[in-house]
Chains A and B, each alone.
Chain A
Amino acid sequence: MLLFMAIVLPILLAIFIPLAYRSMKSIHTGWFVLLAPVLLFLFYLRFLSPVQQGEAQLARASWVPSLDFYFDIYIDGLSLLFSLLITGIGSLVVLYSIFYLDKTKENLGNFYVYLLMFMSAMLGVVQFDHTLALYFFWELTSISSFLLIAYWYKRDASRFGALKSMMITVSGGLMMLVGFLTLYVLTGTYSIRETIAQVDTIVDQPLFTVAVVLVLLGAFTKSAQFPFYIWLPDAMEAPTPVSAYLHSATMVKAGLYLVARFTPVFAYSEVWVWLVTGIGLLTLFWGSLFAVKQTDLKGILAFSTVSQLGLIMSLLGLGGFAYLVTGDAVETFTFATFAAIFHLFNHATFKGSLFMVAGIVDHETGTRDIRKLGGLMSLMPVTFTIAMIGSLSMAGLPPFNGFLSKEMFLDAVLGLLHADISTMTVAYLVPIVAWVASVFTFIYSIYFLWYTFMGSRKEEQLPKVPHEAPIGMLISPAILGSLVILVFFIPNVVGDWLVKPATAAIQSSSFASAADIEFYIKAWHGWTSPALWMTVGVVVVGFLLYKMLPKWQSIYSKWPERFTLNRGYDTLMDGSLNWNRALSDRFMTGSIRDYLVYMFAGMAILGITTLFTQGGFAISTEGLAPIRLFEIVLTIILVGSVMAILITWSRLTAVIALGGVGYTVALFYVIFKAPDLALTQLVIETISVALFLTAFYHLPKLDKHYKGKEDTSFRLGNFLISIAVGLTVTLIGISAYAQRQMTSISEYYKETVYTEAGGGNIVNVILVDYRGFDTLFEIGVLMIASIGIISMITLRLQKKKKGVTVDEIE
């Protein structure tokens, strides 16, 4: 229960934040907020030791037990690593935001409520073992991210970015939900651990691949993989603490978490491992390529995040191969997972600090445009130091932690060549792509650092006079920066306590617990290590290319704007909007005639096609009553009256002809031996005609809109539809009559009418005795109709307001 309380603690705290914000204006609200992540961080630290020894933490809170819906908490190495990142970086980000956001100018209540909501959501994503609970919190991260991106909701760009990220991540989330439900169909359980336990039985099912692809779509959209990364650069409109927290260290890693978590289930599928590896490498390459093009500090960092997420994703994909191979190759591929988790940790440290640096630069100079910045090194020495640590680590240079994980990445990629899975020639491409991407990573890291802090100062272009940031704002990035260096010198502390338990959780088929893993992170591999020479190559080529950057940067503008992914997204959104509008404009004309045409035509087409395709049509002359002269005469009169209604241009004639039709129908009732019907029909027809004539008297003069006559001109379309409707009715009537299968229930009425009900008129007895309820509500209908008529005539609310009565109109 304590574990569950830990997840909801931030959200519970969020309830009191607006109160604290309003009642204690003098204290920055962030100080209250800081309590939650720090407490939680210390709380989760307690589990380090038991989890490292392989004791997972469990808790359950039931929600809808009858539907198998529980909030099952399961904390193993992977969940713990993420929980510590979320709370640890969360604490630093809250601390940073206290100095970044002004307590008088900003609406801090909103900001911290959203942020705490996000924190809870994210903890839920990484700790729940139940797929639906995972999905629930997954969408909560999307929603809170949406709210945070649009924090400055008066800016157009913020709202656009928020909507875009919402659209992409939520559509991916829905795909993922369908994937989870597919898994449920296959296994009968929502629990991820139980799914892993019965993975053998589901691997061969055709639905398995469907689940693979759908869950991957969720992971790829959330983790900004190609081609869904386009929301991430637009999400940079959020306040910088948000970018640092959500869009570099935590939320975008939810997709990585998902891939890692489901590796023991899905890695048996080749589709999964190749898709994860392939898309990861493509994203790595693409993101690093386009990061160099950016001129906005946060834009560079956004693309670099995309690229690094691709790197981790591809490593997770390579790790998945461990499930497909045997022998020595297993070790090579499990090492890839180890590298992925290590880089995931490293990326959170250096990217968090870099975003904070970008925020400081923005805060102190008033711009993030790299073309206006430069020469800030001497003005902001501390910020520069942190930025240097971060960027060089990102570039993969010693003595920073990025170097270690980059080396491990190159090792893992090269490992693909030695494994027996690499019979495919495409495998040789992988190290080359990885190397080229590393070169570009080096270039944009240096580009970021150099253009901001080196070169000549352009103070006249800056909105503010630049100076060093306040100490409070520097604490968080400084802590992260120290971590970057610290991890380089003592990598195996992180490796043993965090990375190995997480690796054991992902590679559960190879390792029972963290103690079985024998990987050792070392900075020096010896002169013979190919990864070392690849790094040397990266530095040399990267440095040369960076020096020539002004010469070749213009190639980016050669790419036609029409074929960018952003343009594609815009076209898709606008296109679907326009298409839908055109569609509804086309069919929803507002004219009742058009709608009636749809309905009648639909009825006729459906009726006739069903009748003939299903073999329903039949005609039978058996048992028919004979045709007598009376009936022929009455039919002729009826048809004549109806034709008169159709062709007359005078309303009076039409009304009288309608009366004729009604009286003829009454005569039909007479000859078909229905005396009660005949009586009722006669009376009602008389009243109806009287009513029609009353209405006729009040109807508008015919020449007002009909040029002196009722509009009776012939319309072919209407005629054809009418014929079709009549034909449908006739055919169905004839067929139904020919295929009557049972005798009437009326035998009972006929036999018992006198003995049971004590009446002689069978129709009347049915109406008031056998089926009296019909009559009751038919009386109700008449009553409602008369009340309606009275109220329509007497209530004149609108006219009274205007002070005009109906008499005056007339």
Chain B
Amino acid sequence: MEIMMAILAGFLFSAATYLILSKSLLRIIIGTGLLSHGTHLLLLTMGGLGGKSAPVVADGVTVADYVDPLPQALILTAIVISFGVTAFALVLAYRTYQEIGTDNMDYMKGRGEID
């Protein structure tokens, strides 16, 4: 299972990289979103996926049966932070379009002409 999840995370990283290398600002931001997902899944996978019980104290569950709670806490923090950054980036893209009228990275450099 962990190997499959590692491959899945790698796939998400590949797709994210491909999108980040494209010209459209929106696709770049979508790429960063995929990158976050890949990272979060990888974090979870590296903690081990074999737990029998959610990390909430319950009767009749031994300590060894709980899923590792630490990666979950880390991921929760990471989700919130990446949400903050994504929201900021989106508004930045929106404002960029308002000011300079394009979301094409090539034109932002002043390489092509803005018609």
Min CB gap B61→A, angstroms: 10
Beta-carbon nearest neighbor of B80 in chain A: A778
Q: Give 1 or 0 for each of B1-43: 1 = CB within 8 Å of chain A CB.
A: 1111011111111110111111110110110011001101110
- Complex-state Cα separation, A784 to B67, whole angstroms: 33
B contact residues around A733 at 8 Å (CB):
6, 9-10, 42, 45-46
Q: Which of A623, A662, A725, A774 contacts B77 (CB 8 A)?
A: A774
Contact A750 B66 (CB under 8 A): yes
Contact A662 B21 (CB under 8 A): no
A contact residues around B55 at 8 Å (CB):
673-674, 750, 761-763
- Complex-state Cα separation, A623 to B50, whole angstroms: 8
Min CB gap A634→B, angstroms: 9
Contact B111 A763 (CB under 8 A): no
Count, chain A residues at interface, CB 8 A: 105
B contact residues around A727 at 8 Å (CB):
10, 14
Residue A597 CB within 8 A of the other chain: yes
Q: Give 1 or 0 for each of A719-736: 1 = CB within 8 Å of chain B CB.
A: 101110111111101101
Interface residues on B, range: 35 or more
Residue A658 CB within 8 A of the other chain: yes
Beta-carbon nearest neighbor of A592 in chain B: B105
A contact residues around B66 at 8 Å (CB):
750, 762
Contact B54 A675 (CB under 8 A): yes
- Complex-state Cα separation, A335 to B69, whole angstroms: 87
- Complex-state Cα separation, A781 to B2, whole angstroms: 31
Beta-carbon nearest neighbor of A692 in chain B: B90
- Complex-state Cα separation, A640 to B90, whole angstroms: 25
Beta-carbon nearest neighbor of B10 in chain A: A730
Contact A753 B49 (CB under 8 A): no
Residue A424 CB within 8 A of the other chain: no
Residue A754 CB within 8 A of the other chain: yes
Q: Give 1 or 0 for each of A763-777: 1 = CB within 8 Å of chain B CB.
A: 100110001001100
- Complex-state Cα separation, A675 to B85, whole angstroms: 24
B contact residues around A655 at 8 Å (CB):
30
Residue A747 CB within 8 A of the other chain: yes
Given A733-B42, A749-B69, A750-B66: A762 in contact with B56 (beta carbons within 8 A): yes
Min CB gap A473→B, angstroms: 61
Q: Give 1 or 0 for each of A606-640: 1 = CB within 8 Å of chain B CB.
A: 00000000000001010111111001000100110
- Complex-state Cα separation, A642 to B34, whole angstroms: 8
A contact residues around B20 at 8 Å (CB):
596
Contact B30 A806 (CB under 8 A): no
Q: Which of A658, A687, A730, A763 contacts B7 (CB 8 A)?
A: A730
Beta-carbon nearest neighbor of A591 in chain B: B109
Beta-carbon nearest neighbor of A736 in chain B: B46
Contact B75 A677 (CB under 8 A): yes
Given A626-B1, A744-B68, A778-B81: A763 in contact with B104 (beta carbons within 8 A): no
B contact residues around A731 at 8 Å (CB):
10
Min CB gap A678→B, angstroms: 10
Beta-carbon nearest neighbor of B73 in chain A: A766
Contact A785 B102 (CB under 8 A): no
Identify which of residues 448-482 in chain A touch chain B, using a CB-to-CB cut-off of 8 Å.
Answer: none
Contact B77 A718 (CB under 8 A): no
Q: Which of B12, B40, B84, B109 contacts A785 (CB 8 A)?
A: B84
Beta-carbon nearest neighbor of B74 in chain A: A774
Beta-carbon nearest neighbor of B50 in chain A: A625
- Complex-state Cα separation, A711 to B81, whole angstroms: 30
B contact residues around A654 at 8 Å (CB):
26-27, 30
B contact residues around A793 at 8 Å (CB):
91, 95
Given A592-B105, A763-B55, A766-B73: A718 in contact with B18 (beta carbons within 8 A): yes
Residue A691 CB within 8 A of the other chain: yes
Beta-carbon nearest neighbor of A704 in chain B: B102
Min CB gap A642→B, angstroms: 5
Residue A699 CB within 8 A of the other chain: yes
Contact B21 A596 (CB under 8 A): yes
B contact residues around A600 at 8 Å (CB):
17, 21
- Complex-state Cα separation, A655 to B61, whole angstroms: 41
Min CB gap A234→B, angstroms: 42
Contact A746 B68 (CB under 8 A): yes
Min CB gap A764→B, angstroms: 8
Residue A695 CB within 8 A of the other chain: yes
- Complex-state Cα separation, A651 to B77, whole angstroms: 29
Contact B34 A661 (CB under 8 A): yes
Given A698-B98, A750-B63: A711 in contact with B24 (beta carbons within 8 A): yes
B contact residues around A642 at 8 Å (CB):
11-12, 15, 34
- Complex-state Cα separation, A749 to B40, whole angstroms: 21
Given A623-B50, A705-B104, A760-B56: A806 in contact with B98 (beta carbons within 8 A): yes
Identify which of residues 60-113 in chain B touch chain A, using a CB-to-CB cut-off of 8 Å.
Answer: 63, 66-70, 72-73, 75-77, 79-81, 83-88, 90-95, 97-98, 101-107, 109, 111-112
B contact residues around A583 at 8 Å (CB):
none
Beta-carbon nearest neighbor of A770 in chain B: B73
A contact residues around B9 at 8 Å (CB):
729-730, 733
Contact B105 A725 (CB under 8 A): no
Q: Which of A596, A669, A749 contacts B44 (CB 8 A)?
A: A669
Min CB gap B94→A, angstroms: 5
Residue A680 CB within 8 A of the other chain: yes
Residue A493 CB within 8 A of the other chain: no
Beta-carbon nearest neighbor of A767 in chain B: B73
Min CB gap B80→A, angstroms: 5
Residue A665 CB within 8 A of the other chain: yes
Identify which of residues 560-596 in chain A touch chain B, using a CB-to-CB cut-off of 8 Å.
Answer: 590-593, 596
- Complex-state Cα separation, A533 to B20, whole angstroms: 86
Identify which of residues 650-698 in chain A touch chain B, using a CB-to-CB cut-off of 8 Å.
Answer: 651, 654-655, 658, 661-662, 665, 668-669, 672-677, 680-681, 684, 687-688, 691-692, 694-696, 698
- Complex-state Cα separation, A684 to B82, whole angstroms: 10
Jot down 10 A-B pairs with beta carbons below 8 A, ordered by A: A600-B17, A642-B12, A642-B15, A645-B19, A646-B18, A669-B44, A674-B75, A684-B80, A694-B94, A699-B97
Those 8 A-B pairs whose CB atoms lie nearest each other, nearest first: A726-B14, A730-B10, A785-B84, A733-B6, A625-B1, A760-B57, A762-B69, A722-B18
* B residues at A contact (CB < 8 Å): 1-4, 6-15, 17-24, 26-27, 29-30, 33-34, 37-38, 40-42, 44-51, 53-58, 63, 66-70, 72-73, 75-77, 79-81, 83-88, 90-95, 97-98, 101-107, 109, 111-112, 115
